[in-house]
A and B are shown apart, each in its own frame.
Chain A
């Protein structure tokens, strides 16, 4: 990152953008300034609704259908983009400014070969001939460490994996050697171990060609590896901008610090002897494809066991086996020392009551046509037979426990924020007065500060009521924050189980090592150090 930053490439002044919804225009970007020098990489970070993607596209002079510029200017290389006609803007897109989208699987046209899509803009603009640009594309694939670089371009999008597609898209952006690349959450959809490969490939190639870049993400640790400077956005406004190291070490605004609030949380582990729930030698399959192999997990009473793994590791399937939704093909689930019937239908009401579940997407976990009162009240009627004033009283107590008040009683789920929804789901699980709550990625869809609130709440409830959690997650920071013990899963098998401190400190089995080392840290040198170590 030793490029001279002198002349200005992109200059955005007082940009305002509005979007049309519910029959009226709402502001999305409220007067943001942005200056980018040649070869500079700027990270733009913010939580959902911050308007970061809209800002990234605005740097190209583009707004999505249903949005419009209302004020401000975007000067690229001296040309004001907003005022240009669509045809004039097109001369910049794909050639001088390139875009890398979040979901590569959806952003590639299923009907064309990868290499044709890679070269499309370059050939159209006449920057190079078709043959030249194809051999250049192969060279780019190679430098992005794609396997079988000379042939991979002949494939179609559905024939390669997500991580590879994301790298092909980077090659596509790089094909015309643009002055500016917009990366819009390019690694968000990837598993951590894949993310490392893609990040390093992207960083290498951006540095090599000296392109300027805007890197949009919600993950500070990721952007710290990529960017020279970081700009924090919130509700369409700038919070602060600073050089990466400065930002990480001493942010000016409290809001910025809250972006890594979960990392600050750490439960002191406790060992538990009394096992409340245990899976013993569980095999499970969907149809003919086996997804769990001899899985054994023990959950001590009043403690939290975090089950960690990437997509396809079988961690959610394990939860389905425990709840009885997916009867195992071998092995048993023991609860309080007794074997549970394998199928949901053969379990007694009290067995069902003792194990409750909270879902990742609170949106789909609550019936949109029921009020908070109905949602929380139903388990009270169903399991405890409460009605009338007693039921009402208990619902209010539960609302207080989750730090909400009675004004929420007659709200529908669509009238709650993301964090409030998840809290209501927690209250619904609590209402059953369970011994065990299975939490399936309950914080993954939430912003950091809201995540922290939910985790704090879960910890408090555990202390008060001695509930045991089986906490399924892919996020190591969350694991540190909440767990006593950790189970690492990989491809349907348990790699290891043990106390948090044992699992997180070396020596590790190979997969745990790979997983743990791939989690980005809040250190700008983390990726470089890691790559050096791995090499």
Chain B
């Protein structure tokens, strides 16, 4: 087998194994719940029978490995179980399925993250690359100082400064990003402007610094000096000699920051009351609605794992040593 294929398969296998273990960890968290949690969910007034019925519904009467397999197979079918909220001591069940709760919110989150990524990724790469090229120039120093400050700030600080300036003092954008299924695309964009700008500021700072470091590291290679001494111009050195070796580090930087976006989105959604999956997760944590928390955690974790997997695969397929084995 070609070494590239072998390495990719190995990496994919590792990814699947990680996903498997992560899902097991997330699943087993429900077993860690305190024993009386049936009562906690259903309320003090719940009868012994309703609690027993609830436990049975959760499958707590079956052994853990069986429950895990049941859970995994239903998750693979898109069924994340039923939310705890809406249950009552009387046994009347007004709860909704987790999938139903999550689906619209996941779309919203993907929209916000997508818009941010489209702006942030090219911007960060451009700034990082130019800062590396003109390093120690006034531009580079300025950008560096600015980004060092930005990465030190919590997301909600950036968010509230933006609200203060662009919503309270000079009302340009709304401070609440309340959208629903009927909101039109243009209006949707206007409403998510502030959360998207907040996320962009934070991501660009991180990403630009990492890009700059990766490029500077690359430019220190002896083969870059050799290219210069063969008379290559600056742009030729970058495009022809540095870039073909830069895909792996750049892919890693992008994946790392998109993964960071996944986490940043939680706080930003709460600040702007944006109906996304991050806010849902926080609400469910407060309400101790474990099935929803598990589903959200699984979605966040898989996104994270898949992003890193993609970066590694890009690194593998652009590595000349693997592409052209001895």
Q: Which residues of A contact B (CB under 8 A)?
A: 57, 60, 62, 64, 87, 90-95, 98-99, 101, 103, 106-112, 120-121, 124-125, 155-156, 158-159, 172
Contact = CB atoms under 8 A, between A and B. Distances in A.
A101 to B, nearest CB: 6
B320 A93 contact: no
A103 B222 contact: yes
Nearest to B222: A106
B100 to A, nearest CB: 50
Contacts of B226: 99, 101, 107-109
Given A107-B222, A110-B320, A94 B326 contact: no
A93 B226 CA distance: 10
Contact of B223 (A60, A94, A107, A159): A107
A25 to B, nearest CB: 16
B221 A106 contact: yes
A42 B125 CA distance: 46
A90 B241 contact: no
28 contacts: A62-B228, A64-B225, A87-B233, A90-B232, A93-B231, A94-B231, A94-B232, A95-B231, A99-B230, A101-B225, A101-B226, A106-B221, A107-B223, A107-B225, A108-B223, A108-B226, A109-B223, A109-B245, A110-B245, A111-B241, A111-B244, A111-B320, A112-B244, A120-B232, A121-B230, A124-B232, A158-B326, A172-B230
A121 B225 contact: no
Among B226, B231, B324, the one with the most A-chain Cβ atoms within 10 Å of its Cβ is B231
Contact of A109 (B233, B241, B321): B241
A253 B324 CA distance: 52
Contacts of B244: 109, 111-112
A62 B229 contact: yes
B227 interface: yes
A108 B232 CA distance: 14
Nearest to A116: B240
Contacts of B326: 158-159
Contacts of B225: 64, 101, 107
Interface of B: 221-223, 225-233, 236, 241, 244-245, 320-321, 324, 326
4 A-B pairs with least C-beta separation: A94-B230, A94-B231, A111-B244, A93-B231
Contact of B227 (A64, A109, A155): A109
A60 B324 contact: no
Contacts of B245: 109-111
A90 B241 CA distance: 16
What is the interface of chain B mostly: helix, strand, loop, or mixed? Answer: helix
B231 A101 contact: no
Contacts of B228: 62, 93
Contact of A90 (B222, B231, B324): B231
Contacts of A60: 229
A121 B231 contact: yes
Contacts of A87: 233
Nearest to A103: B222
Contacts of A110: 223, 245, 320-321
Contacts of B321: 110, 156, 158
A329 B282 CA distance: 60
B229 A99 contact: yes
A158 B222 contact: no
Contacts of B236: 124
A156 B244 CA distance: 14
B222 A101 contact: yes
A98 B321 CA distance: 27
Contacts of B233: 87, 90
B223 A158 contact: no
B326 to A, nearest CB: 5
B324 A159 contact: yes
Given A110-B320, A111-B320, A158-B326, A93 B222 contact: no
Nearest to B135: A65
A93 to B, nearest CB: 4
A466 B233 CA distance: 63
A94 B229 CA distance: 6
Contacts of B222: 101, 103, 106-107
A127 B326 CA distance: 33
B223 A120 contact: no
